[in-house]
Amino acid sequence: MNVIKWALERVDELVVVIGTAQESHTVVNPFTAGERLIMVKLALKDEGVDLNRVYIVPVPDILMNCVWVHYLSMYVPKFKYGIARNPLVIRLFKEAGYEVLIPPPYNRGEYSSTKIRKLMLLGDSKWRELVPKSVAEFIDEIKGVERLKQVVGVD
């Protein structure tokens, strides 16, 4: 959320990409692209972000880095900047001729999807403190923790 707010201070409209959109019901991506889209939208609403300024677009993976930015541009509205901290993504945007905005670091160790999934698998409700309340409620509604445990084979 910090990165989105930071970006919205610098751009008129923002495209939030949900990557690996083709994958669901796995350990790394237990939720569908549609479910992840809803979670992002709920989090934005919780923070009072103007949803008229944000596009949320699921994008399936392509396993060819040299054409990734062109591939991405076929899924999203026209954009001027790439926003990233990942060195590969920064390089790909620059090679494709885009200016890159690099957000400041944030507490990624604390707000990590891997950590959240691990807490869910351990039955530790502390994962709820790491996501917005509405997202936790949505995960409950879709029985997301149970799905994750089933996918991993944990009872």
Structural domains of the chain, with CATH:
2-152 (3.40.50.620)
DSSP-based three-state secondary structure for 96:
coil
Cβ neighbourhood burial of 115 (10 Å; 0-12, 13-18, 19+): middle
Q: What are 73-90's pLDDT values in tens digits?
A: 999 999 999 999 999 999
DSSP-based three-state secondary structure for 12:
coil
Q: What are 20-45's pLDDT values in tens digits?
A: 999 999 999 999 999 999 999 999 99
pLDDT of residue 19: 96
